[in-house]
Structure 1
Amino acid sequence: MEQEHSAPQRPQNECSTRSSSADLRNTPCTRGVGEPVCQLLWHLEECNHLLFPIGYQLIDQEDDDVGELRLVLHPQQDVMRHCESFILSGVHARKAIELFQSLCAVHRCVTLVELDYKIAMSKPLLSAIQGGVGVKRVHVYDFHDITWYYPALNHVVLSLVSTMEHVDELVFRKRHQGSISIVPLSSFSLNGAVATTLKRLDVADVNLGDSEVTKLITLLMGNDTMTDLAVGTSVCTFAGSKTSLGFADYLAKAKNTLRSLTLRSVGFCSAPYLARLVHTICKMTALQELVVDMVPCGREGTDIFAKVVGRSTSLRHLTVVLPPWWDRCMLNDVYQDPDGRFRSVRRWLAVLPHTDTLETLTLDMMGFLQDECRMLFLALSENSSIWKVTVHRLLEWGSIECACRVIRACDLAERVVISNHNVSPNSLSKLPTCPEVKAVTVYSHWFQTTLCDIRVAIGTLATCGHLRSLQMHLFDDALSNYVLTTLASCLVAPNRLSDVEVNLHIRLYNPLHGLQCARECPLIRAVSCNPNLNRITLRQFQLSEVDCQLLTDALRRSTNLHGLVLSGDNSGRFLQLLAPMALKNYTLLYVSLSTTDDSDDEMKILVEVTRRNRSLISRAARFVLGENRSPYCAAAIEFVSRHPRLVQVVMHKAAVGEERARKMIQRALESISSMDSFMMVVRVVKDHVECVRQPDGSTQLDQLNYDCWLHVRQYLKVADVLHDCEPVP
């Protein structure tokens, strides 16, 4: 019955007519201690309709407290042409800016604002952010672009965040994580009130010169509120000088307050300094989460961080990985002595069986040989506190087969996840006998021999019924209609795939390039016919009209497909077909299209639908976990109880397996199924339903037996019971 009811786009009641911009500007904030949900949530759709011309969206996020809102940059901002000129003129842009100013000035529920260099060029928007009554978190995107292309805006942005008295979270991020800023920033200084109020600071994507690092460490030394810190190469490798303190000195000072630390480095530091850094981290008494994403230094490399597991009494979550571009040749250059490599691996073997505080571990196992893999998983089997282990890059000969064998023998399948295994000709033949491998990536240029070409690899993958995720990179020399047809046959065969990504690295002169535009692609028909897929990613495809229609029909039918990434010619036509039916879709959570067509109206619909659906998932998860039992959250679970993403969120937050998460969701649904529980959650009654008896003895509502009530209940949802909300002035 889920499809037959309107979606709960409002927590209680939403006006039947769209509010005007003047009405929305005059809507007061009703969020308080007794009522965490502001009436603004009644009008998110109207707000986003008006904010669209300036590239903003008002959303609620599952990581935030219930009722908190974010003003975030449009997810398609980098491909939307109008965002470049929104600050110039126009009636729609002016109304959007006025609403933005009102949201910041009036609403305490708006607690986070994002900005980039385009927003930094608008004085009205910057002034609104600076005066935001509830804004306590600011996220700045592509700060290096601001400095590089618009040097004058560097000071403007830093002055803005430095003068905001209530900001306790400041994040500088890149939209495209693969890019590295080689040139250090010439100026980066945070002063004023923000220096003493910050609780979270993320500068991991910012490359700073030594003088700017010194200023940042001085700021950190004067801060006593920081609990969450992420730094990049220039900071975490800074050992200090005769006149300035190093990063390790700050960590020693913050040992009783810092709870989360991220070290992301693409540069080398001296082995003695790295040892000092690790020694300092071992002594931190409040640290619960440590993320290490850095190149190996010294004889032990990143394995030296195993010391933290053995010595820390507070660490709950540890991630130690190498940069994605780091390969086996680079690793061999660092570890020229095999015996030295084994000695460093033994650090993990010594500490993992004995830690009783660590709960999750993510480890990059590049370079681990077969025996080392076996010993590591045996060590994990002796531990009872670690409930989830994620391992990356089991690439050495025999490693993947050995790992799966030990996982099976030690009953670790529920605890160990092998993340996205890169399939090589050496490991391909072993893959069908490794059911513990759920996700694989295949590069066609690895399969160019006569005995093992890409078609042989695809044929082997078709026999692996245990795979859940497949990522395929097909390069120009391997591209042909025959290869695409073979891959399509693999995808339509009986399988358990839920995530498919196909990247075509195709040149213009390839004959396939022109043929794709003219006729149906067998690969697109294959993914469109698979009802089990949760996510589809197709890059550099030339879509025909038939292809666009096939994908649209797949989204209309599927109750699982919640993520779609599509780049290539004619994706604008697909958007035109998708938009009219998107409002009835309660599954889609993320859509990314490369369209540059004049399709703002269609994109606006899609952005709002995905925002609404993500909100439903967030609210439903709160209800399942017992965090919030209000009608606002209860209404959501009835629309997304079967959504695969809801299961994932519950698994993550409750630290349980898939089966347990599904049972928790079912129990939450059953908790509002009876007459009394339903009437209580919609706030019609306080304790139970009791009707006045009629003189004629006719049957009253509270006299219905349970089966009769369930028959009524299947046509009734929490969102159907309307409540009065404050009239908009």
Structure 2
Amino acid sequence: MLFLKSHSSGSLMNYRTLCTSSEDRLCSVFADLPLWNEIFWQVGLELRELSPGQLSLVERRCADVSTFLSYTVEKSEAATLLCHLLSHHHCFVSVHLNHYVFRHHHKLICDALLKSPGLTKLTFCGKLTNASQSFAAALPHLKHLQELQLSYVPFNRTSLEGLSELLASTRSLTTLTMSDQIFEGDEAVVVLRGLGQNVTISTLSLHISLLNTVSPQCGDIFADYLRCNQTLLSLTLTSSSCLIIYDLRPIVGALFCNNILSELKLIEFALDRRSNMIITDMLSRNRGLKRFHMDCCIFYGNDCDMNTPVPIFWSGSSLIPYWLAALAENNTLEELTMGVSWVKPQNCSSFFRALACHTSLKKVNVQTCDQYDVVQICRVIRDTGAPERFVLRQLIVSNETATVIPECKEVSRISQYWHNGDEVALLRTILPLLPACSHVKSVVLQMTGSTFNGEVSSLIEQYLTDTTALRKLRLEIDSENLRSVDLSEQKLLQALSKNKSIRKLSLKGLCISEGEARMLVDKLESSRTLCRLYLYPYNCEASTWFVQMLSPNVSSNYMLLSMRTCWTGRLCGGWFPIKDVVRRNNSLVTRAAHFVMGTRHKYCAAAAELMQHNHELVVKVQELASVDENEAVSRIEDSLKSFTELDDFMRLAGVVECFVTCHRRDDGQKQLVDLNPYCWLHIRQFLKVGDIPDPK
């Protein structure tokens, strides 16, 4: 046997074991995931459970790997583990390749990619030319790949031909994401020719550079692809800048007669009058599109020169007739996302009424609106008779809008950003109103250190004590001058300790003492609601105190799903157990959600029992089943009831195949099957599925 030794815990790991996963049993790797991750964390990666029984190597968000860049031993060990997983584990289905692990081991890793028995998803973010060429050469041979994501890969002509060959020949690839991949000139033509021959991709995400290059062929090639394609269901296009007008006519025009595509997303585009006309014309004629998202797009009322910066903002009132006509003729659209800052107050009523009366439209995401008109927009939405159809992104609080928060019941997020005026006066108005605003679920408060001290901290404390509706809080203190620990932070943390509604908490700029760090740890350990914590204190030693206090008992926490804090070398020893608990809890939520959806594995049932009170389980079920919160809660309850009875429990736990039987005792004493339902339910309070050991 060959072993690797963990540099943190000193434990030995036999990484050479082969895959032991089966339909209802986890691979032996799952038991050693903390040890595997102690090595993968050194290169900014983490091994996680993607779905029940399936492993994925993902990029760690906000990972600080610069400290380890010189540690070639760790990089070599990570590459060794990765190659073994790829070559010998069919439970290893997804991998993110970053340049830390790929740079000096690209040939070995590419060879392992070709041997992989289970890989279906591949993400590559590479800025190194030689390594990228090895990767591109392997691409055409990945015959079982279903999802491919590329970011900032420096392709040359040869490697582009390899990518094009994969797109043209694959019979398995269904998802291609290249939103961050920039192509220029003839490069785009090569890729688009391969894409034009593809007959498998159903989800496609591209950067607009692929379609707006110096070659006039690109738009025509892609338009032909859209007209003829019979598999593409979702298309996302990302712009370079919302200040540059791109010609969308070839793309959108090709959708006039395409009834296959069901979702179109445009991200950060500048849409002038000409763009709006082609979009509304498409909506009038298209009979297949169900979801249309204009995410972070800006509307301009006049026509602008193509591929040039937009000089000024024009009124968009002239666009209203086109949108009203399109909505009147379209009868397939179910979800729409757009900003309405361009809609003048006098046109609000007719525009929102048209959205409310649309025969098929079920959801309208209003991203941006003129904050001065938000009250009128809320009134108009209520007057439509279908307020449940509309979702307003947020209300940015100002002196003009502070007092209208109670009236804007359609807004669930309130944001008070850095303010040049009198912050104290503004917060003095806002904070007393919030406890009575049950519709406000998310609050963002940004202020200077001098504002936070004194009266404002007391107002925040009172709000946190009184509210039962708040789910997300982001508090940021900007301190230009040196801050010191005072009673303001203590009052805030005491109020947070009493709060029982917050699920996501972000604190930045607070000056926290060691005792206050202890208060925050106690809150996290006792809370039945708080599952995401982001802590960036003014004094970085507070992060060290917090991690050192939390780490010893963190394994008993089954709520924590995400945590970030200031990174320092002193955190390493205590940080690993916390990150592993976060990984474990996310894995348990995934298993529990799949159990609710019908996956009847024992380890999924055990996870459902453990995570039944974690709200993220509700969110995950909503996502998997496409249902609302009430329906998700009902499904979770029903799934837990499904193994309440003795026979159901024993069958799911693997004790019996069908039902429980007991041989009659000579002494006539009662046996397990003689228990009445009440007695069995009493036992079940202390007996969980996870308590039953697996057969050897």
Cα distance in 2 for residues equivalent to 1:546 and 1:461: 29
Q: The residue matched to 1:166 in structure 2 has which SS?
A: coil
Cα gap change, 1:480 to 1:695, in 2 (>3 Å):
closer
* Counterpart code for 2:192: I
1:169 aligned onto 2:140: no
Listed one character per residue, the Cα deviations across residues 273-318 of structure 1 (whole Å, up to 9, x for unaligned) are 4233212123323212221113223315558534454433333332
1:60-99 equivalences under 5 Å are: 60-61=49-50, 64=51, 66-77=52-63, 79-86=64-71, 88-89=72-73, 95-99=77-81
The aligned counterpart of 1:686 is 657
Q: CA deviation at 1:562?
A: 0.8
2:271–2:299 CA contact under 8 A, matched in 1: no
Q: The residue matched to 2:372 in structure 1 has which SS?
A: coil
The aligned counterpart of 1:322 is 296
Cα gap change, 1:577 to 1:300, in 2 (>3 Å):
farther
Cα gap change, 1:690 to 1:29, in 2 (>3 Å):
closer
Deviates more, 1:480-489 or 1:657-666: 480-489
Cα distance in 1 for residues equivalent to 2:665 and 2:10: 43
The aligned counterpart of 1:7 is none
The aligned counterpart of 1:28 is 19
* Counterpart code for 1:136: T
Q: CA deviation at 1:612?
A: 0.9
The aligned counterpart of 2:426 is 453
The aligned counterpart of 2:531 is 562
Cα distance in 2 for residues equivalent to 1:473 and 1:711: 50
Q: CA deviation at 1:165?
A: 4.1
* Counterpart code for 1:30: S
Listed one character per residue, the Cα deviations across residues 398-452 of structure 1 (whole Å, up to 9, x for unaligned) are 3x223333444555454432223322333322211122211122113165489x6
Q: Normalising by the residue count of structure 1, what TM-score does the alignment of the two structures yield?
A: 0.83
* Counterpart code for 2:402: L
1:275-354 equivalences under 5 Å are: 275-299=249-273, 301=275, 304-322=278-296, 336-347=314-325, 349-351=327-329
The aligned counterpart of 2:581 is 609
Listed one character per residue, the Cα deviations across residues 351-384 of structure 1 (whole Å, up to 9, x for unaligned) are 5xx52x4333332223233344433443343346
Q: CA deviation at 1:45?
A: 3.5
The aligned counterpart of 2:118 is 134
Cα distance in 2 for residues equivalent to 1:458 and 1:323: 32
The aligned counterpart of 1:107 is 89
Cα distance in 2 for residues equivalent to 1:75 and 1:160: 27
Q: The residue matched to 1:229 in structure 2 has which SS?
A: strand
The aligned counterpart of 1:716 is 687
1:625 aligned onto 2:597: yes
Cα distance in 1 for residues equivalent to 2:639 and 2:217: 61
1:482-497 equivalences under 5 Å are: 482-497=455-470
Cα gap change, 1:112 to 1:303, in 2 (>3 Å):
farther
Q: CA RMSD in A?
A: 3.5
Cα distance in 2 for residues equivalent to 1:397 and 1:345: 23
The aligned counterpart of 1:593 is 565
Number of aligned residue pairs: give it.
672
Cα distance in 1 for residues equivalent to 2:241 and 2:221: 16
Unaligned runs of 5+ in 2: 1-8
1:113–1:139 CA contact under 8 A, matched in 2: yes
1:468 aligned onto 2:453: no
Cα distance in 2 for residues equivalent to 1:302 and 1:562: 42
Deviates more, 1:400-409 or 1:640-649: 400-409
Q: CA deviation at 1:492?
A: 2.6
* Counterpart code for 1:605: P
Q: CA deviation at 1:191?
A: 0.9
Deviates more, 1:411-420 or 1:238-247: 238-247
1:550 aligned onto 2:519: yes
2:147–2:175 CA contact under 8 A, matched in 1: yes
1:538–1:565 CA contact under 8 A, matched in 2: yes
2:339–2:367 CA contact under 8 A, matched in 1: yes
1:204 aligned onto 2:189: no
Cα gap change, 1:201 to 1:269, in 2 (>3 Å):
farther
Match of 1:363 among 338, 347, 355: 338
Q: CA deviation at 1:520?
A: 4.0
Cα distance in 2 for residues equivalent to 1:557 and 1:449: 34
Cα gap change, 1:97 to 1:293, in 2 (>3 Å):
closer
Cα gap change, 1:337 to 1:567, in 2 (>3 Å):
closer
Q: Normalising by the residue count of structure 2, what TM-score does the alignment of the two structures yield?
A: 0.87
The aligned counterpart of 2:643 is 672
Q: CA deviation at 1:707?
A: 0.9
Cα gap change, 1:30 to 1:625, in 2 (>3 Å):
closer
The aligned counterpart of 2:98 is 116
* Identity over aligned pairs, percent: 26
2:236–2:265 CA contact under 8 A, matched in 1: yes
* Counterpart code for 2:13: S
Cα gap change, 1:480 to 1:161, in 2 (>3 Å):
farther
Cα gap change, 1:306 to 1:108, in 2 (>3 Å):
farther
Cα distance in 1 for residues equivalent to 2:12 and 2:232: 46
1:573 aligned onto 2:545: yes
Listed one character per residue, the Cα deviations across residues 74-119 of structure 1 (whole Å, up to 9, x for unaligned) are 3342x24444234x126xx655443322211100121111122212
Cα distance in 1 for residues equivalent to 2:423 and 2:678: 65
2:394–2:415 CA contact under 8 A, matched in 1: yes
1:239–1:247 CA contact under 8 A, matched in 2: no
* Counterpart code for 2:271: C
Cα gap change, 1:18 to 1:505, in 2 (>3 Å):
closer
Match of 2:193 among 195, 218, 222: 218
Listed one character per residue, the Cα deviations across residues 328-348 of structure 1 (whole Å, up to 9, x for unaligned) are xx9996663554132344256
Cα gap change, 1:449 to 1:708, in 2 (>3 Å):
closer
Listed one character per residue, the Cα deviations across residues 50-75 of structure 1 (whole Å, up to 9, x for unaligned) are 544444322112xx5x4321012333
1:186–1:209 CA contact under 8 A, matched in 2: no
The aligned counterpart of 1:659 is 630
Cα gap change, 1:528 to 1:698, in 2 (>3 Å):
same
Cα gap change, 1:118 to 1:488, in 2 (>3 Å):
same
Q: Which has the higher contact order (CA 8 A, sep 6+)?
A: 1
